[in-house]
Structure 1
Amino acid sequence: MKKVTTYNNKKVLVMGFGISGLNAAHLLKKLGANVVANDQATPKDPAVVENLKNEGIKVITGSNPLSLAEEDFDVIVKNPGIPYDNPLVAKFVEKKTPIITEAELGWEVFEGHLVSVTGSNGKTTTTTLTQLMIAKSNAHRVEYAGNIGVSFSKVAAELGPEDTLVTELSSFQLLGTPTIRPHIAIITNIFSNHLD
């Protein structure tokens, strides 16, 4: 993992408790950020909230209170599934607060070789096959992550400079990735139309 000081003493709001949001909150705390984690729903498992609180992360569940927009956050890390017209997100857009996704955070700490897959159909298959092919021909560690059920930022933080990460990225994730620059980019476009 790269030594990143960008988030040291910064106030960061993480919106969404999915796999990516929870891992982003934990990573940001390790990077020295003052983290507030928010989810519109209340997690069924109380341990989720307890684990965040035990790390010194402020937790707000059950709604996206508009009062959060009155606080001076340096960055918002938004779950890709939360639309930009969500009232709280819209307030941050209006304030011009930087809004990123967990993929951007993963890119910022990653120091290896990045392969990114995006497109309309076939992303997961292409990501999985690409990871397997590179792993067969590479002596270093090769993992996959992203929109495939594995947190980009968690895996990125665990890999070294000689390792490769193959990521599946949806268009919603890419909206919040202003600096991500993969070494190899693959765009899938597999159609299921049949010609008679």
Structure 2
Amino acid sequence: MNGTNKHISILGAGESGVGAALLAQAKGWNVFVSDFGKIKDKFQQELTNNNIQFEQEQHSEDIILTSDVIVKSPGIPHKAPIIQKAVAKGIKIISEIEFAGYYTQAKMICITGSNGKTTTTLLTHHLLRKAGLNVGLAGNIGQSLAKQVIADEFEYYVLELSSFQLDDMYDFKADIAILLNITPDHLDRYDYKMENYTASKFRILQNMTANDWFIYNADDPIITEHLALTNTKAQLAPFSLKEEQTQGAHANEQQITITIKNQFTMSIHDLALKGKHNTQNSLASGIAGRILDIRKETIRESLSDFKNVEHRLEFVAKVHGIEFINDSKATNVNSTWYALESMEKPTVWIVGGVDKGNNYEELAELVQDKVKAIICLGVDNSKIIEAFQGKIETIVEAKSAMEAVGFGYQLAKKDEIVLLSPACASFDLFESYEDRGNQFKDAVRAL
């Protein structure tokens, strides 16, 4: 895409917006960056240092609506007035990933799904790096893809893609696409219609050819139903925890088996990531590795020595035989469901915060199975108490991470677990889920 003397506006000046601005400038575009909110100091500095024109806390329509192209931050909804006006004028609106894709020939391994994206992206990146491939990490994670494409040193990129990013992608193509699962999330952006959200996830298949691969969860009914109605040229590699796959992967209680190019097996007990959902993540990454002809030894090693992302089922410490686990990144019921499902010992569960319309009913069965006591960590815990009163004998309330950890230490015994998996956002008592996780870890270490 030739940018010479063409005008590009970039809406949103976070990691992806600033990355897109730097790439656009490098490719000869006239660049204008506009953010309706406040721009973080470090991003302002970067724009200033590179002589890129920007504004904050407003959108200057006279400049934006005369653009040839608009790169939109994934956080800006299509209903935003400035976007509606741009659409009415027929201006091309794309995502940073789409824009970056115009300027690189690198192979793209793209990962989406409602849960497990970050873990699978990091695991796949770890595997490719271990195999000695020249690979970058981008999308919803790490440095902006557009920024990395300026130097364009990588032959492969592993990208974590949200449905919001996929919505503004048109010509971009994945060489390997991974779809982990589809559960209701962000439905407010999709007119509260599940089929709209599903269609958005399936955009990951756009432009794929017979040389490309689609790795997907065969146990997810929404995916299999939609796939049956989808016409794709890509080769299919399903993974399952229920049935064997002739081309793909499956797992049982003992081992995982990947059947791509020839058979690979590995004991399930050697996987670094525990829990059924993590077995799915490992299967997806392993398939991608085999498609890329990575040696079996390398795959085995990578799947067994991977260290997961901070605040996601992160082991903190063992104190007098009690294991403390930080899953502060679980900000919805679905993420917490996965966390509880992977607990193999009696668990004291720390839950609560700002509720995004949670239905705790979905956790009822798991909680009765796994949880011996509940510690509520939020300003208003009435909904949680109401949901589990009478089902769980001990429910207490804490107003700080320190107090919650103290209760956990009293309520758990040797060979039991204290799990922080809040199922809620954090901003009633904390600055962010990272702040909540860090305070939790500090309190555990102070025991």
Q: Same fold (TM over 0.5)?
A: yes
1:14 matched to 2:10: yes
Q: Which runs of 5+ in 2 are unaligned?
A: 182-276, 278-333, 342-364, 367-447
2:167 equivalent to 1:175: yes
Percent identity, aligned pairs only, is: 36
Amino acid at match of 1:166: V
Query: Does 2:108 align with 1:114?
Result: yes
**Match of residue 142, structure 1, among 116, 135, 138:** 135
For 2:117, the equivalent position in structure 1 comes to 123
SS at 1:109 equivalent: coil
Q: Does 1:187 align with 2:182?
A: no
Deviates more, 1:58-67 or 1:33-42: 58-67
C-alpha separation in 2, matches of 1:168 and 1:97 = 27
The structure that has the greater radius of gyration is: 2
**Do 1:65 and 1:88's aligned partners in 2 also have CA atoms closer than 8 Å?**
no
Residue 75 of structure 1, CA deviation: 0.1
TM-score w.r.t. length of structure 2: 0.40
Correspondence for 1:67: 62
Letter aligned with residue 133 of structure 2: H
Bigger relative CO (Cα 8 Å, ≥ 6 apart): 1
- Residue 89 of structure 1 is aligned with which of 83, 86, 92? 83
Aligned mates of 2:151, 2:180 — CA distance in 1: 27
Measured on the aligned residues, the alpha-carbon RMSD in Å equals 2.1
3-state SS, counterpart of residue 102 of structure 2: helix
2: CA distance, partners of 1:123 / 1:44? 26
Alignment partners' CA distance in 1, 2:45 and 2:111: 35
Give the equivalent residue in structure 2 for 1:52: 47
**Deviation, structure 1 residue 107:** 1.1
TM-score (norm 1): 0.86
Amino acid at match of 2:2: T
1:153 is matched with which residue? 146
Contact 2:136–2:158 (CA under 8 A) maintained in structure 1: yes
Give me the whole-angstrom Cα distance separating, in 1, the residues matched to 2:151 and 2:19: 12
Match of 1:38, SS state, is strand
String of CA shifts for 1:28-84, please: whole Å, max 9, x gaps.
Answer: 011000011101123352x64354245342212111234345x42100000010111
Contact 1:77 1:101 in 2 (8 A): yes
- The range that moved more, 22-31 or 128-137, is 128-137
